[in-house]
Chain A
């Protein structure tokens, strides 16, 4: 039973190294120390199917993929090989479910599956659990499943994939890998900090909650932390004299849950308004900078501007769609942000009014 796969580049040209993480079923019966609950088997080959079949030469348990949870793709493979080619076998074979999570590793993918965890759980299972935490933090993109990846690559749509780095002990979800829709290759990274803001620009079907905005109060220079509860994002397409431009409206509502300034008084609506203003400014600044990076540096529309353009202005979309990502980088985009604080928790100020 295989729960995790890692794909790396081999030494020879076009060679794939595949690491299969098997659940060690013997472990369940013996409580011996030193017996690991998983084992990895590494094979090489020129194509995926061939590589997978080579596993049967190395173990009596032929791999069974119905319970496969994650596929980790190494940085090197992702950056040099067309991902549509790599994932083709996965999408064809009936044993693999379309809901398998795809993750891109910084460095070698194999290292992720061999990393030592303090909990002594199976790395692939641990990793799968981490991918689901989008409701808690916004510092990673929403997980991408194999099926969704197939959809996006067929549509030539650029997208974000969760990325992971091995630590000395354990793993860390580290922002996002940007996959170009045209080339179907890894073209860059977003740090987890940038991802926190990029998430406000992505159309959130699931996992609208979670994530924080932190600002330093203008006067006291003390941190104020806002916990997002709901994101609404809307893209407005406008054409003036034939010039295409976008307006992104980002709206978030949530709770003010931490405030270090001693002069705080949340029972006053004015105070809440000033905090909202600061948060809005921060949100606007940061989302604009992420948007700039995506437009100017990476040139990839991962936010779904293309979908809105297709819906609102189909003729233009038809003209631009062949080279959308390049066209996208030239279109001026304005961000309009709004932060609304719904409540501020159980304590509204630190020092009562005298």
Chain B
């Protein structure tokens, strides 16, 4: 294994679970209420989210199972084992591109929110650059520091997110969520794609399993890793829609942050809770970005057998300039949609197909 030297230490199940969870948390949390509200149109968004989450858990287990069949190998290795060298390489390259696109999207969203709420007059070229510098610094350290940092940050960010969300209960009105299933179940099912895309990131289990101390627990890790985001997203959706109503949510660019901005304590001097939220959220963006950035370089490293450092540096300008390709906010959101569709392919379809092929191959081997 080429990888051996990067990963002196194997990860615990808890580390992997928190790794998956913090990779999932990302841009979705601030845009989910609007995109889901637009797709579904009724206040039953949260049901759709639960469905979407369940599907993702199932897919996560598929990924984990697939990975467990090839202990110590990552997706990049066994995809060629399963499908042959040529298709395997193509898959690797596609996956690398997908990772880069996710990283780009997170980068741009982060820059947009920071510009809108914090640094109006700072060019996003600059905030993006700073963000990338820190990320690449972490990435250069290898996977171990990344995972340890994720483990460290996740509890803090989760608690802060919960607390901030719960503070929003003051304006919460249950009427906004009623009646249930006013338009029947079909909008809920139709909107599934929009509530499933925020879970992008669980496919990292395809890689994490290879470095786990007990790879048997991969399924457990992925289930826990997805359950945490489900809780947070559910909480966010309920609070945001309960506070604003679905109709209003659809008109707001960053509905979650707007809700947090309306938190006010009578008599309290301190009101800018969104600063707290944005700080935590930027950290979450950072973790997502770092993981995908690393996976992209890892893929190239495995494919070309060149030191991974070169790709860490080489992707810097690529991602940086790619993030300015969308010329305005709408195009940036469109990039998010594209990433969502790609995720369905790379996190859903491909692992499933690979798993089936792999089962079939084993079967034929037994017959022989």
Contact = CB atoms under 8 A, between A and B. Distances in A.
Contacts of A341: 328
A230 interface: yes
Interface in A317-354: 340-353
Contact of B253 (A209, A347, A351): A347
Contact of A340 (B37, B116, B123, B327): B327
Contacts of A340: 327-328
Contact of A353 (B38, B123, B327): B38
A84 interface: no
B300 to A, nearest CB: 32
Contact of B330 (A268, A351, A352, A353): A268
Interface in A90-122: none
Interface SS, B side: helix
B334 interface: yes
Nearest to A208: B121
A340 B327 CA distance: 8
A293 B254 CA distance: 44
B251 interface: yes
B40 to A, nearest CB: 12
A272 interface: yes
A94 B58 CA distance: 80
Contacts of A343: 112, 115-116, 253, 328-329
A346 B330 CA distance: 13
B252 interface: yes
Contacts of A348: 251-253
Nearest to A342: B328
Nearest to B252: A347
A208 to B, nearest CB: 10
Contacts of A352: 37-38, 246-247, 250-251
A209 B123 CA distance: 11
A87 interface: no
Contacts of A344: 253, 329
A64 interface: no
Interface in B302-353: 327-331, 333-334
A209 B122 CA distance: 11
B240 to A, nearest CB: 13
A57 to B, nearest CB: 50
A266 B38 contact: no
A347 B251 contact: yes
A346 B328 contact: no
B37 to A, nearest CB: 8
Query: Most chain-A Cβ atoms within 10 A of its Cβ — which of B38, B116, B257?
Result: B116
A259 to B, nearest CB: 12
Contacts of B257: 346
A346 B250 contact: no
Contacts of A347: 251-253
Contact of A230 (B38, B123, B331): B123
B258 interface: yes
Contacts of B328: 269, 272, 340-343
Contact of B121 (A229, A268, A269): A229
Nearest to B250: A352
Contacts of B246: 352
Contact of B334 (A209, A230, A269): A269
A267 interface: yes
Contacts of A353: 38, 250
A93 to B, nearest CB: 37
Interface in B217-259: 246-247, 250-254, 257-258
A103 to B, nearest CB: 26
Interface in A263-319: 266-269, 272
Given A343-B112, A352-B38, A272 B250 contact: no
A346 B329 contact: no
Interface in A174-198: none
A352 B257 CA distance: 19
Contact of B116 (A209, A268, A345, A350): A345
Query: Most chain-B Cβ atoms within 10 A of its Cβ — which of A268, A347, A350?
Result: A347
A342 B329 contact: yes
Nearest to B327: A340
Contacts of A349: 250-251
Interface in B57-112: 112
Query: Most chain-B Cβ atoms within 10 A of its Cβ — which of A230, A268, A343?
Result: A343
Contact of A209 (B37, B112, B121): B121
A348 B35 CA distance: 13
Contacts of B112: 343
A267 B327 contact: no
Contacts of B331: 269
A266 B251 CA distance: 9
B330 A272 contact: yes
Given A229-B121, A346-B258, A267 B252 contact: no
Nearest to A343: B329
Contacts of A269: 328, 330-331, 334
Interface in A204-231: 209, 229-230
Contacts of A342: 328-329
A347 B331 CA distance: 16
Contacts of A272: 328, 330
Interface of B: 37-38, 112, 115-116, 121, 123, 246-247, 250-254, 257-258, 327-331, 333-334
Interface of A: 209, 229-230, 266-269, 272, 340-353
Given A272-B328, A343-B116, 11 more contacts: A230-B123, A268-B330, A269-B328, A272-B330, A343-B328, A344-B329, A346-B253, A347-B253, A348-B253, A352-B251, A353-B38
Q: Which 10 A-B pairs have the closest CB atoms?
A: A352-B250, A343-B329, A269-B330, A349-B251, A348-B253, A346-B253, A352-B247, A347-B252, A342-B328, A347-B251
